[in-house]
Amino acid sequence: MPTTTTDPNQKQAELSPDELQRYSRHLTLPEFGREGQEALKNASVLLVGAGGLGSPAATYLAAAGVGRIGLVDFDSVEASNLQRQILYGTSDVGRPKLDAASERLEDLNPHVDVETHEVRLTSDNALDIIDQYDVVADGTDNFPTRYLVNDACVMTGTPNVYASIFRFEGQVSVFATEDGPCYRCLYEEPPPPGLVPSCAEGGVLGILPGFIGTLQATEVIKVLTGVGEPLVGRLLMSDALNMDFRTVNVPTNPECPVCGDDPTVTELIDYEAFCGLPQSDESSPNGTADSDVSDTDDAVPETSVHDLKQRRDADDAPFVLDVREPYEAEIASLDADQLIPVDDLEARLDELDAGPEEEIVVHCRSGARSAKATAFLREQGYDASNLEGGVLAWSEEIDDSVPQY
């Protein structure tokens, strides 16, 4: 059965002559036909994220004729987005993503109403926003927002079509349906902070969000129209390197704290605290599916890029430790004294060329991994501080010849 929140007593919008021509390839599908197309026309979808996954999902949902599409994002287009976020072009760099996305979708299909929510989805607004739509497509890349979207979908009775990507791998499923599991049934607890790097840190094959986002859009259409068998109770996993697809069953957990028989989470909580992250206004925009923004640890001392530059110019430079991966140093270098990846630092501490009495400034790409490394070094008795903003800040504020990635 199709999933809609439309008032059954309200007259359903019918297809216009122009729409009959536009959607003719749908109408000739016996399993889909006019009934399926009109179900799409009278349906609404909220895409949480207008980035790597949101780009293909929004494009195909608009082309398919979903009547009302909502977009949640508050990020701007960056040059590094263009490798995978196909809603945007070079001329859009620096523009708010929602401005560029809505223009593209409205040009693609003027029969679709595009609504924009240029806000950070939070526990204060998630229920109100999500409850306006029939289905949610979650394309975020950070765990606090994934759990927030899941819980809000369960509480509002809104199906959650979930997708995620990392490097060469992707996942798709349908959560929070009436008889199916939710995201917490699969992942009851988030991983420890820093265990799973962001796409900015770990990389992502540019075409991967294209076909995973298209699979996500396919599941949205199936849920809205009742055509086929959605991935309810199943998780589709893809490995693009080997072009391998497999599906595993995801049972409903009767003890799930949100959708179980006796739920203990009955209202939205502090999801950053739940995921063990420090609260910050600069945390990953839950709009972007593969955001380049990372959380930093405010508990460690920080050195600004300007301070480091001044001290280098005065021949009073501290020891600089790069905790990125070697391939990152090949892309952009700050001429660090030594490189030890953050995940290797504990095991290789005896290789560190600086002693506990020497001042150390630790850097990474944006400041998140270096904050973790700084905290560890200080626990071991080293005089370490975190380079605020990392390579990105150095490139933006000191030397724009240093590539951003």
Which residues belong to the active site? 199, 364
Residue 235 pairs with which residues in a beta bridge?
173, 248
Rounded alpha-carbon distances, angstroms, from residue 138 to 40, 157, 216, 290, 382:
19, 15, 9, 12, 42
CB atoms within 10 A of CB 326: 9
- Cβ atoms of residues 212 and 53 within 8 Å: yes
Rounded alpha-carbon distances, angstroms, from residue 102 to 71, 133, 341:
9, 17, 40
Sign of the dihedral defined by the CA atoms of residues 318, 324, 330, 333, in that order: negative
Residue 317 CA to residue 311 CA, distance in Å, equals 5
Closest CA to 272 of 386, 148, 87, 398: 148
Name residue, tokens 């949480």.
Answer: 48
- Residues 6 or more apart in contact with residue 56 via CB below 8 angstroms: 86, 209, 210, 211, 213, 214, 217
Closest CA to 185 of 218, 228, 232: 232
- Residues 6 or more apart in contact with residue 141 via CB below 8 angstroms: 49, 51, 164, 165, 198, 199, 284, 288, 289, 290, 291
- State the DSSP string of 364-393: -SSSHHHHHHHHHHHHTT-EEEEETTHHHH
Residue 277 CA to residue 136 CA, distance in Å, equals 25
Residue 72 CA to residue 230 CA, distance in Å, equals 24
Rounded alpha-carbon distances, angstroms, from residue 389 to 43, 196, 279, 359:
42, 20, 17, 19
Residue 66 CA to residue 72 CA, distance in Å, equals 17
| 251 Cα distance to chain centroid | 25
Residue 252 CA to residue 233 CA, distance in Å, equals 7
Residue 229 CA to residue 83 CA, distance in Å, equals 32
- Cβ atoms of residues 227 and 34 within 8 Å: no
